[in-house]
Amino acid sequence: METQRILLRTLAVAVVIASVIWTTTAAEGQNDAGQKCCTKVSTAELTDPIINIRLHPGKDLPCVKAVIIETERGEFCCDPKQQWVLKKVKQFFKINS
């Protein structure tokens, strides 16, 4: 009888822990409105042709401020403080304006 109680308590604790982990990972990379956002930025320079550039303000946690650069390989969250990012943004808008 005591063994069953311990087993049920252990199972209940495991379910609570699993649900917390699931909700935490499901919300990662989304702001309060449920939109995808950058949770970290890369400092590695991109050399692929750029399709589009947009700014993510990073107002709501876990989102961070980033320049989102879209290439054929996908979207990359880049650090807006990097000199190469500023250069790419200027070049992109000069060509596309």
Average pLDDT, whole number, for the chain? 76
Q: Is the pLDDT of residue 89 over 50?
A: yes
- CATH architecture for the domain at 2-95: Beta Barrel (2.40)
pLDDT digits (tens, 9 = 90+) for 4-51: 666 556 544 444 343 334 433 333 454 444 557 899 999 999 999 999
- The answer to whether 55 and 94 have CB atoms below 8 angstroms apart is no
Q: Is the pLDDT of residue 54 over 50?
A: yes
- The answer to whether 53 and 87 have CB atoms below 8 angstroms apart is no
- The domains of the chain are located at 2-95
Better-scored residue on pLDDT, 10 or 81: 81
What is the C-alpha radius of gyration for the chain, rounded to an integer number of angstroms? 21
Could you give the residue ranges of the DSSP H alpha helices within the chain? 2-27, 83-95
pLDDT on residue 84: 94
